[in-house]
Amino acid sequence: MNKIPSVGIYFHYENNGYSNGLNKQKIEKYSDQIPGVRYIGNSHDLPPIDKNIFIEKLKGSRVSKLLIAGYDPGMVKPFFTRIMSESGLDPTNITLCNFRDYGIMGRADEQMAESLIYCAVMTVNPDEIINKVVKQKNQDTLVIGGGIAGIQASLEIANSNHKVSLLERTGTIGGHMAMFDKTFPTLDCAACILTPKMVDVGLHPNIDLMTYSEVKEVTGGPGNYKVKILKKARRVDLKTCIGCGICSEKCPAKASSEFDAGTTLRKAIYIPFPQAVPNKYLIDEKSCIYVTKGKCGVCAKVCPANAVRLDEQDQEIEITVGNIVVATGFKTFDAGKVANFGYGTFPNVLTSLELERLVNAAGPTGGNITQRTKDKKGNWIFTEEGAEPESVAIIHCVGSRDVNNHQYCSRVCCMYSLKLAHLVSEKLPDARITEYYIDIRAFGKGYEEFYERIKQEGIEMIRGRTAKIEERNGKLHLRSEDIINNKLIESEVDMVILAVGLEPREDAQSLAKMLGIDTNKDGWFEEANYLTDPTSTHSGGITIAGVCQGPKDIPDTVAQASAAACSVIQNLITKKNKTLDKTVLISLVEEYVNKLSEITEDQI
């Protein structure tokens, strides 16, 4: 039986905009009506704080304890300690209630603030109470995004004997990593690492893989999220399709291949790449003639397994999960935005992602690095027969470290540029390869050594950002300052590679809103604490992993995905949330606390 002491409450706010969205009056009004609580003031009402006002207020009241709530209340604790003793009260009887510890910043967090205050007044541990109120009910997990991050997290959770639903927007899992030939710094074959993991996901009894699907709506709370999922029509039955590919051979319609970063075409009925998981075909309704114009149907006729369902419709399903891992990755910066580089105008100015496909043996040119050539219809295309470039320039920091685009460093482009330089020189030993950089950021284990190795291989490194690319007589003309050698460089090359940075997906904002998580100013998902809790968010039960949280390479992505899985498993085992849920209902908290300590007015 707790006896309610008479509590004075003071609110300490800051002026840096962190909590602008919070309705402070509402919280103050709420705390004032808690039995036994006396409102003393807040830092907005009384700047500068006048000692005597407080002493008077405290002396005349029956307050025996002081609660300081708000942001970093510890800052004003010494002041109030003095006031307490000058008012003849016990100066040690001060409780702090720091909103910042719980990420309270906006309108949605008011109930959380109120819960904290209520628990503090009742001298019970808020973490415990709130976790009791929002129980971990559901033991299943949803992973959004099937890149290396999503794959890793799914496998970790599934291997701990918990059910996982893995949601992927495209027709296959794998994400960006599946597009690469080799990975830095070890130059391991990307497919050799990724494919077994993808197959594991496809076969795992605990993983329910949903490709070609998207999240439509998320409701409920931690431990009990209701997720509406839109399963887009693949128009090919997953169970019966045997992956023979006859349909694709006969299909008359073509569209640009997403997997090959637009360097070649694919059919309207297609498999993203030969190792895709699931290894089944699907129809792209934007390019299919049957869907757009109502005639054709060739694929359905030739399919030996009768798997084509041309009239299949999108479907909506709802699942319930306890935890969600967000691993939606990134998209590359649109190089066309840097007008001076002429991407999109000059056929042989490519992005790094396009080059990744060119060097890949399974790519559009069978791994031959060739220049774009004009076909009969006048389109610029890549073919195996195209001329090999004699000189290649790689330009760093395209779209990154630039106030006109993204101010942040994309972290992987220095290293992948070195990797690409190596891969090109391996295939074209006579080509002159030059990298134009601002700084080389080789920050990881073995990375600086990798950089040294690439330099040894004869790749020319020039410190100086290229300012402009022009086309003269079919050659690309670059202008840069060579800062180390103190001269201007005007060079002519056959091919230019733009090391484009990473940026958040187009739907990152809307997804964040749907999930109730925050994004930072650049649009990356915001973690609970960058230093100590980089995978949790302020929404209990929702964790983030991979590049969607901020640019990182594959080793870091995988590490973070495992860490996110660990948080989830911790939640599942302890049946409570590692991070508290902010969307708690204050009425439930009150009810729960009151049950703990039945208090009556006259006890006060």
Partner 1 sequence: MNNRVNPGFKKELQKFGMSEQWNECFHCGNCTAICPLSENEVLFPRKGIRVIQMGLKDKLASYVEPWMCYYCGECSETCPRDANPGELMMTLRRYLTSVYDWTGMSRKFYTSKWWELSYILFFALLVIVLFLIYLPLRPDAYLMVNESGGVMLNHLVAGISGDQFIRIIEFGDWAMAIIVAFILVSNILNMFYKIILSNKSFKVPFYAYFTEFWRLIYNFVTQSKFSKCDDKNYWVGHMLLMTGYTTMFILVVVALPAFQTEKVVDWYNWQRLLGYYATFGILFFLTVVTIGRIRKKDIKLQYSHSTDWLFIIMLGLTTITGIVLHIFRLAGLPAATYYMYILHLAILVPMIMVEVPFSKWSHLAYRPFAIYFSRLKQVALSKQYSTGLAPAI
CB of 552 closer than 8 Å to CB of 530: no
Residue 454, both tokens: 């690439």
- Smallest gap from Cβ 246 to partner 1, in A, equals 52
Decide if residue 335 touches ligand SF4 (CB under 6 A): no
Helices (H), 303-384: 352-359
Q: How many residues bind partner 1 (CB under 8 A)?
A: 24
Q: How far is the CB of 172 from ligand FAD (least distance, A)?
A: 8
| Partner whose footprint covers residue 299, from ligand SF4, partner 1, ligand FAD, none (CB < 5 to 8 Å by kind) | ligand SF4
Q: Report the relative pairing of strands 182-183 and 188-189 from DSSP bridges.
A: antiparallel
555's CB contacts (< 8 A; 6+ apart) are: 444, 445
Is there binding between residue 184 and ligand FAD (CB under 6 A)?
A: yes
Build a one-symbol-per-residue string for 219-258: x at contacts with ligand SF4 by CB under 6 A, - elsewhere: --------------------------------xxx-----
Residue 463 makes contact with partner 1 by CB under 8 A = yes
Q: Least distance to ligand FAD from the beta carbon of 119, Å?
A: 36
Total residues belonging to the chain: 604
DSSP for 560-585, written as a single string: HHHHHHHHHHHHHHHTS-SSPPS---
How far apart, in whole angstroms, are the C-alpha atoms of residue 116 and residue 68? 12
Strands 188-189 and 224-231: unpaired
552 binds, among ligand SF4, ligand FAD, partner 1, none (CB under 5 to 8 A by kind): ligand FAD
Q: Does 232 bind ligand FAD (CB under 6 A)?
A: no
Q: Could you say whether residue 352 binds ligand FAD (CB under 6 A)?
A: yes
Q: For partner 1, which stretch binds (CB under 8 A), given 233-241, 289-297, 478-486, 553-561?
A: 478-486
Max CA separation in the chain (angstroms): 95
Helix (H, G, I), strand (E, B) or coil at 470: strand
Q: Report 419-458 residues binding ligand SF4 (CB under 6 A).
A: 438-439, 441
Query: How far is it, in rounded angstroms, from Cα 332 to Cα 416?
Result: 13
**Residue choice 468, 474, 522, 596 for contact with partner 1 (CB under 8 A):** 468
Residue linked to tokens 């005349």? 60
Kindly state whether residue 113 participates in binding ligand SF4, applying the rule CB under 6 A: no
Among 346, 351, 317, 319, which Cα is nearest to 334's?
351
Among 115, 410, 466, 535, interactor with partner 1 by CB under 8 A: 466
Q: From the list 161, 306, 340, 379, which residue makes contact with partner 1 (rule: CB under 8 A)? A: 340
Nearest approach, Cβ of 455 to ligand SF4 (angstroms)?
15
Instruction: Build a one-symbol-per-residue string for 341-380: x at contacts with ligand SF4 by CB under 6 A, - elsewhere.
Output: ----------------------------------------
> From start to end of 474-585, where are the E strands?
475-482, 487-493, 495-500, 502-503, 542-544
Tokens of 59: 């002396």
- Using CB under 6 A as the binding rule, whether residue 410 contacts ligand SF4 is answered as yes
Query: Based on CB atoms, which residue is closest to ligand SF4, 255 or 599?
Result: 255
How many Å apart are CA 582 and CA 538, to the nearest integer? 7
Q: Figure out which of the listed residues 107, 378, 456, 488 binds partner 1, where binding follows CB under 8 A.
A: 488
Residue type, 265: L
Q: Which amino acid is at 97?
A: C
Between 86 and 481, whose beta carbon lies closer to partner 1? 481
* Comparison of 196 and 252: residue with beta carbon closer to ligand SF4: 252
DSSP 128-163: HHHHHHS------EEEE--SHHHHHHHHHHHHTT--
- Report the partner that residue 312 touches, choosing among ligand SF4, ligand FAD, partner 1, none (CB closer than 5 to 8 A by kind): none
How far are the Cα atoms of 262, 329, 372, 431, 546 from residue 347, in angstroms, in the given order?
A: 13, 28, 6, 19, 33
Q: How many Å separate Cα 82 from the centre of its chain?
A: 47
Nearer to ligand SF4, 140 or 503 (CB): 503
Helices (H), 312-433: 352-359, 413-427
Residues near partner 1, by CB under 8 A: 340, 397, 401-404, 438, 463-468, 479-489
Residues near ligand FAD, by CB under 6 A: 144-150, 167-170, 175-177, 180, 183-184, 214, 327-330, 332, 352-353, 356, 412, 416, 419, 505, 507, 511, 546-547, 552-555, 557
Residues near ligand SF4, by CB under 6 A: 251-253, 268-269, 283, 288-290, 296-299, 310, 396-397, 400-401, 409-411, 413-414, 438-439, 441, 499, 501
